[in-house]
Structure 1
Amino acid sequence: MMMVKADERGAPPSPELMAEMSEFIAETRRAGVLLDTAGLAPMAMGTRIRAAGGELTVTDGPFAEAKEVVGGFAIVKASTKEEAVELGRRFMQVHTRVLGGAYTGECEIRQMFGPDDA
């Protein structure tokens, strides 16, 4: 899974970024490596459920302590870690090409485990 993180402002993507991302999404779907992808609603619309000391606390966003926000995700099928990293690198290149040098963001790549992996 690739998770795209940005600072807490989490501005909506520009039309230019959406157009470039649409091309990248189409290409990776055709190649069979993109299984699913989506953007996430702004943090202000989110809710957190925290478990601590045997109690649950529900808090609606925005969350004052947030330093970075997961703005979207992609589930990819990669044969190796190197292949997954290359997909993440290309994904972030789209962002820097469209948004320029002022863009600050991060793509975190994590392997997913399913019931058969236990």
Structure 2
Amino acid sequence: MRFLIIVKATPESETETSPASDEQLLAAMAGFHQELAKAGALLDAAGLKPSSAGWRIRYHGQRREVVDGPFAEGQELIAGYTLIQARDCEEALAWSRRFPNPRGQGLAAEIEVRPLYAIEDFPPPAKLERFKALELPT
């Protein structure tokens, strides 16, 4: 099973113009991700630039609207992610409990963990056969 560990944005992450420079935090994150990689559980990980560098597409029927960042909903924004492979929810929970505090020691922070759908979660209509043929990791 694949799980996405979502690092919530903070006012600091939304105003940064370069990656965080807290060396202790960077070392903790690097160590954690090295452990994930060594265990064969790490699929991908990255920090996101502030929402001011991005945009959203809003759909209105057939029409699309481009909305440039920054976005005001700071609590709902994502600052980074780690994509892991785990046998089950319990293993994913164990890994996520070890995730370093993304803001640094002693500061309030939050991560969210969500399982990804697998192709097997969908009904087997013929259209899904095209996705199965891609042989993506599950």
Q: TM-score, normalised by structure 1?
A: 0.82
1:100 aligns to what? 105
Report deviation, 1:110: 1.0
* Secondary structure at the counterpart of residue 6 of structure 2: strand
Query: Structure 1 residue 115 and structure 2 residue 119: aligned?
Result: yes
Taking only the aligned residue pairs, the percentage that are identical comes to 39
Report deviation, 1:46: 0.9
Report deviation, 1:41: 1.0
* Secondary structure at the counterpart of residue 74 of structure 2: coil
Question: Residues 6 and 50 of structure 1: is their aligned pair in 2 closer, same or farther, counting only changes over 3 Å?
Answer: same
Give the alignment's Cα RMSD to 1 decimal: 2.0
1:44 aligns to what? 52
Aligned positions, number: 114
1:74 aligns to what? 82
8 A contact 2:58–2:64 mirrored in 1:
yes
One-letter amino acid of the counterpart of residue 106, structure 1: E
State how 1:10-25 maps to structure 2 within 5 Å: 10=13, 11=16, 12-13=19-20, 14-25=22-33
Report deviation, 1:115: 3.1
8 A contact 1:33–1:78 mirrored in 2:
yes
Q: TM-score, normalised by structure 2?
A: 0.72
Structure 1, unaligned stretches of length 5 or more? none
Report deviation, 1:23: 1.0
C-alpha distance in 1 between matches for 2:43 and 2:108: 26
Q: Deviations over 1:28-85 (max 9, x none)?
A: 1001111111111111101111113443211111112433421111111111211111
* Secondary structure at the counterpart of residue 110 of structure 1: strand
Question: Which structure has the highest strand share of the two?
Answer: 1
C-alpha distance in 1 between matches for 2:10 and 2:76: 4
